[in-house]
Structure formats: structure tokens, C-alpha cells
Amino acid sequence: MNGRRVGADFLVFARGYVRNPVGLFFSLVFPIILIGLFGLIFSVTGTVATTVYTENLDHHSAESVAFLSALNQSGAVKIAVVAPVANESFGTWLAQQGYTVGLIVPLGFQSSFANHTAVNLSLFTDPEDQASSGELIGAVSGVASEFNLQSAGGTQIIGYTDQQLGSQVYKYIDYLVPGLIGFSILTSPMFAMVEISSTYRKDHLFRQLSLTPLTKGEWLFAKILWYVVLTIISAAIMIAVGVFAFGAHVGFSLGLLPFLVLGPFFFVSLGMLAGSVARTPESAAVLGNIVTFPMMFLSGTFFPVSGFPPALQQVAHVLPLYYVIDGMNQVMLFHNNTRAIVDLGVILVGGIVVFIGAIVAFKWRDE
């Protein structure tokens, strides 16, 4: 491995890359758009309570008002009391207004409560808005249990306190930042190398390079170096956007660096391997997508893997990107260095295997 030759090839590739606005866009701007988009979507749904349009048919009795007030205080829902609808059902009215959840407190609510006789609330939910339905059912169920207990003169025996893992409370954006850095580590080199491997072959650029003293290993190493630089820049920008725009509790620590180096090492090599084993540019693109897309969604990029069904969690554990994202989570969020080192070990060993495979698979010249 000759450092001067690697440096020269790095410089030529870097110049070509920064002079191509499309490549730069997908490497630096696209991840920022993603973090902005996901950050906005999930910060909004996480903080705003679901509005529940409510008909109180019990003439605003003290118990019914107390019940609705308790629902409001749960924080999960916001009760908006509307005048009883005439000439049509409440459900039809809700649908016409474009509302997805509603509640009717029936006439006689207070007297039933006082006489210990059963009374049914009517809940209206839209199957297409599962999130709001869940918020409403959960809130009503919780408050109804409280009222039932109070009515029966009982005492709450089993209680709970909510303690999140780690030293602080995490928000979605805290998971999203390392996830999207992982997304960038995966997609940018994978798609680029699959494309490079087929276009260089088509344009005879590999043959051209084979006529110089540059070796295949030096050429691939220069690409890895470039994507390491690009990944570090892109990670710094994403962390800055996460922290300053969405208040993420993540920082740029030194422990993150090994992942920003070994991640591109793995995926540049994997992209080159996938592009080299394919016979045509079209099949290279298909193979690249087959390898990339499952990893993109099942490795904890957009949602923590712990929230997946058990079978998908098993799948995630065989995907190399999982170890990159999990390692970065351990370093950036949980400060669990032991697990991070295990993740690094998996990426390093896998990276060496894939790097050697790529060197063997891609040909400078024809038989």
C-alpha cells in the first residue's frame, strides 16, 4: 500500500465528487432533509394531545364535568365539548367535520354514578387513525378505572413509577440522530460504489487504471478514506441539526469516531462487492437495492429495534448496519462502552472479510 498513490487517487476522486452537485446533495443535504422531516413529524405527534370532540348529554352535571376534566388532566387528550348535534348521528357529524375521535357522555351519567349502576360512554374512533384512537381509549379507560375505584370506596393497591433506562429521559429525536447517521453511512457509499463499479467497467476506467502502478487495494482504500471524511462531515451536520433544531441530547464524542471510520470501511467494500459480482449495470443496481433496503428499515434507522416484533429483531441482528447504529446509540445515548466495543468488533471483522471479498471479486482487466 503506497500512501502517495492512495493520496493522489483520494484527491482525484474527491475533486470529481465535490464538482458533482448530485453526489454532494445525496451525501450532505439529503440526510439533513430527512432529519428535519422526521424530527418535525415526530416532535409534533409526541407533544400535542389528541382533541376529542365531546357531547355532554348529562346537562353538564358535576360528575360529568369532573370526568371530562380528569380526561383533560391526563395530558393524552384534549376535550372539546360541542353542542348536541341535531338531525343526524354524532358519528356522521364527526366524519363530515373530518374529526377522527369523539365521545358522548350519556344522559343520567351522574345519577348512575351516584346509584352505583352501570353507565356506558360512547367512544367514536377511526380505524385509519390508530394513534388518536389509542390515546382516547387509553385515557378513558384510565380515568374510568379511577372513578370506579373511587365509587367503590376502594384504595389503589398496585401503583408504578416510570423510570426510563439511562441517566436521562430520551426523546424520539435522540434515537433518530444516530439512526440517520447510520442511514447515511449505509446509503451514500453503497449506492455510489454499486454505480461506480458498473460505470467504471463500462467506460473501461478500471482497465485504464490497471495500466498504472495503482493497485486495486489502494484504489478501494482511497474510496474508503473519502467516505470516512464525508461521513464525519455529514454526522457533524446531522448532530448539529438534531441538537440545535430539535433539542436532541446527543453529542459528538471521540467514541463515535471508530463507527464513522469502520462503517464506511464496511459499506464501501460491500458496495464494491455487490457491484462486482453483478454482470451488468442493471443487475448491479438490483443487487445493491436488495442488500441495502432491508438494512435501511430493519437496523434501527428510523425506529429502535427493541420496538420490533421478535422475529424482525432476529433479522436485525444479522444486518451489519444494526451493529453500527446500536454501537452509536451505546456511545451517544447510553454510555455503554462495553457493548459499543462488541459492536465495533463485529463491524471490524465483517469489514475485513467484505474488503477482501471485494478486492478478489472486482477485476481490473479481462480474462
Partner 1 sequence: MPDAIVVRGLTKRYDQLAAVDGIDFTVPEGRVFAFLGPNGAGKTTTVEILEGLRNRTSGDVTVLGFDPWADGAPLHRVIGVIPQDFRFFEKITPKEAVEYYATLFDVKVDAMALLERVALADKANAHFDVLSGGQKQKLGLALALVSSPKICFLDEPTTGLDPQARRGIWDVIRDLRKEGRTVFLTTHYLEEAELLADQVAIIHKGKIIAEGTPGEIIRDHGRPERLAVDGPPSLGEFLKKRIDRPVTMANGHIEIQMRDKSDALLVLRAIEESGIPWKGFATVSDTLEDVFVGLVGRMDDGIMRAEANP
Binding region for partner 1 (CB under 8 A): 4-5, 7-9, 11-13, 15-16, 19-20, 203-205, 207-208, 210-214, 365-367
Nearest by Cα to 342 from 235, 273, 259, 268: 259
At closest approach, how far in Å is the CB of 208 from partner 1? 7
Q: At 30, is the secondary structure helix, strand, or coil?
A: helix
Identity of residue 33: I
At closest approach, how far in Å is the CB of 23 from partner 1? 10
Nearest by Cα to 252 from 337, 181, 167, 166: 181
At closest approach, how far in Å is the CB of 2 from partner 1? 8
At closest approach, how far in Å is the CB of 29 from partner 1? 18
Query: Residue 92 or residue 212: which is nearer to partner 1 going by CB?
Result: 212
Query: Residue 112 or residue 210: which is nearer to partner 1 going by CB?
Result: 210
Query: Residue 65 or residue 214: which is nearer to partner 1 going by CB?
Result: 214
Q: How far apart are CA 168 and CA 164, in angstroms?
A: 7
Q: How far apart are CA 323 and CA 301, in angstroms?
A: 11
Nearest by Cα to 235 from 181, 189, 188, 187: 181
Query: Residue 16 or residue 75: which is nearer to partner 1 going by CB?
Result: 16
What per-residue string of b and e applies to 206-218 under the rule 16 or more CB within 10 Å gives b? beebeeeebbbeb
At closest approach, how far in Å is the CB of 336 from partner 1? 43
Query: Residue 19 or residue 116: which is nearer to partner 1 going by CB?
Result: 19
